[in-house]
Amino acid sequence: MLKDVTIGQYYPTGSIIHKLDPRTKILFTTAFVVILFFINNLWGYLAVFGLLAIIILMSKIPVGYILRGIKGLVLIILLTVILNLFMTPGTIIASIGPFNITMEGAKIATFMALRLIFLVIGTSVMTLTTSPIDLTDGMEWSMRFIPFVRRFAHELAMMMSIALRFIPTLMEETDRIMKAQKARGANFETGNIISRAKNLIPILVPLFISAFRRADELATAMEARCYRGGENRTRMKQLVFAGRDVAAFVVMFVMVVGLLATTMINIPLLFPV
Amino acid sequence: MINETKKRMIDVQNIQFIYPHANEEENVIALEGVDFHIDKGEFVGIIGHNGSGKSTLSKLLNAIIFPTKGDVLVNGMNTKDREHLWDIRQTAGMVFQNPDNQLVATIVEEDVAFGPENLGVPPLEIRERVDRALATVEMQAYAHQKPHQLSGGQKQRIAIAGILAMEPECIIFDEPTAMLDPSGRREVMATIKKLNRDKNMTVIHITHYMSEIIDADRIIVLDKGKIVMEGTPEKIFKNVLALKEIGLDVPQMTELAFELRKEGIDIRDNILSIEEMVAALCQ
Amino acid sequence: MSVEIKKLTHIYSQGTPFEFQALKDIDITIEDGSFVGIIGHTGSGKSTLIQHLNGLLVPTSGTVVVDGLDIFAGKKSDLIQLRHRIGLVFQYPEHQLFEETVYKDVAFGPKNQGLSAAEVDQRVRKSIKMVGLDYDEVKDKSPFELSGGQMRRVAIAGVLAMEPSVLILDEPTAGLDPRGRDEILAQIKTMHQKNKNTVILVSHSMEDIGKLVEKILVMNEGEIVYYDTPNRVFTEIETLEKIGLAVPEVTYLMGKLKKKFPEIREDIFTVEAAKNEILRVIRG
pLDDT of residue A88: 83
Within 10 angstroms of residue A134's Cβ, the number of other Cβ atoms is: 20
Alpha carbon distance B278, B274 (integer Å)? 6
Q: Do residues C213 and C31 lie in contact, with contact meaning Cβ atoms separated by under 8 Å?
A: no
Alpha carbon distance A26, A139 (integer Å)? 8
Which burial class, exposed, middle or buried, applies to A45 when counting CB atoms under 10 A from its CB (0-12, 13-18, 19+)? buried
The CA radius of gyration of chain A, in Å to the nearest whole number, is: 24
Sheet holding B28-39, edge to edge: B28-39, B8-19, B69-74, B77-78
Nearest to A227 among B62, B98, B118 (CB): B118
Q: In terms of residues, how long is chain B?
A: 283
Cα angle for residues C129, C131, C136 (degrees, 5° grid): 35
Q: Which residues of A touch B163 (CB under 8 A)?
A: 225
**For residue B278, is pLDDT > 70?**
yes
pLDDT of residue A3: 39
Question: B38-92: per-residue pLDDT in tens?
Answer: 999 999 999 998 889 999 999 999 999 999 999 999 999 999 999 999 999 999 9
Nearest-CA residue of chain C relative to B51? C147
Question: A88-117: per-residue pLDDT in tens?
Answer: 888 888 888 788 888 888 888 988 899 999
Q: Do residues C123 and C159 lie in contact, with contact meaning Cβ atoms separated by under 8 Å?
A: no
Q: Helix (H, G, I), strand (E, B), or coil: what is residue A195?
A: helix
ipTM (interface predicted TM): 0.91
pLDDT of residue A273: 54
C33 CB within 8 Å of a chain B CB: no
Contact residues, chain B to chain C, C-beta under 8 Å: 49-51, 97, 151-152, 178-179, 181-184, 208, 211, 247-249, 251-253, 255-256, 259-260, 263, 265, 274, 277-278, 281-282
Q: Which residues pair with B29 in a beta bridge?
A: B18
- A17: amino acid identity, one letter: I
Alpha carbon distance A138, A153 (integer Å)? 11
pLDDT of residue B36: 96
Cα angle for residues C5, C8, C14 (degrees, 5° grid): 155
List helix spans (H) across A37-152: 42-59, 63-71, 74-87, 103-129, 132-143
Q: In terms of residues, how long is chain C?
A: 284
- B118: amino acid identity, one letter: N
Q: Measure the N-to-C terminal CA separation of chain B; round to a whole number of Å.
A: 46
Task: For chain B, give the percent of residues with pLDDT over 90.
Answer: 84
Instruction: Please give, rounded to a whole number of angstroms, the shortest distance from the CA of C226 to a CA of chain A.
Output: 28
What pTM does this model have? 0.87
Instruction: Please give, rounded to a whole number of angstroms, the shortest distance from the CA of A224 to a CA of chain B.
Output: 6
**For residue B166, is pLDDT > 60?**
yes
Question: C258-272: per-residue pLDDT in tens?
Answer: 988 999 998 898 999
C148 CB within 8 Å of a chain B CB: yes
Nearest to A214 among B101, B119, B122 (CB): B101
Residue numbers of A between 147 and 186 with CB closer than 8 Å to C: 173, 176-177, 179-186
Interface size B-C, in CB pairs within 8 Å, comes to: 85
Domains detected in chain B: 2-233 (3.40.50.300)
Dihedral angle, C-alpha B270, B274, B279, B281, nearest 10 °: 80
- The domain locations on chain A are 2-130+239-262, 150-224
Alpha carbon distance B44, B46 (integer Å)? 7
Q: Measure the N-to-C terminal CA separation of chain A; round to a whole number of Å.
A: 40
C245 CB within 8 Å of a chain B CB: yes
The answer to whether the CB atoms of B123 and A222 lie below 8 A apart is no
Question: B87-120: per-residue pLDDT in tens?
Answer: 999 999 999 999 999 999 988 999 999 999 999 9
Mean pLDDT of the residues in chain C: 91
C123 CB within 8 Å of a chain A CB: no
pLDDT of residue B4: 59
pLDDT interval class at C19 (50, 70, 90): confident
Alpha carbon distance B247, B241 (integer Å)? 10
pLDDT of residue A90: 82
Question: C55-95: per-residue pLDDT in tens?
Answer: 899 999 999 998 888 888 877 777 778 888 899 999 999 99
Task: For chain C, give the percent of residues with pLDDT over 90.
Answer: 72
- Phi and psi at residue C279, in whole multiples of 5°? -60, -40
Q: Do residues C137 and C113 lie in contact, with contact meaning Cβ atoms separated by under 8 Å?
A: no
Nearest-CA residue of chain C relative to B185? C204
Report the neighbours of C using a cutoff of 3 or more CB pairs below 8 angstroms. Answer: A, B
Q: Pick the residue of B88, B104, B145 with the most A CBs within 10 A to test the interface with A by mutation.
A: B104
B96 CB within 8 Å of a chain A CB: yes
Instruction: Please give, rounded to a whole number of angstroms, the shortest distance from the CA of A136 to a CA of chain B.
Output: 11
pLDDT interval class at B193 (50, 70, 90): very high
Alpha carbon distance C29, C176 (integer Å)? 31
- C71: amino acid identity, one letter: I
DSSP assignment string, C119-134: HHHHHHHHHHHHTT--
Mean pLDDT of the residues in chain B: 93
* Residue B200 neighbours by CB under 8 Å, 6+ apart: B40, B41
C108 CB within 8 Å of a chain A CB: yes
Question: A28-76: per-residue pLDDT in tens?
Answer: 999 999 999 888 888 899 999 999 999 999 999 888 888 877 777 888 8
B103 CB within 8 Å of a chain A CB: yes
The answer to whether the CB atoms of C275 and B260 lie below 8 A apart is yes
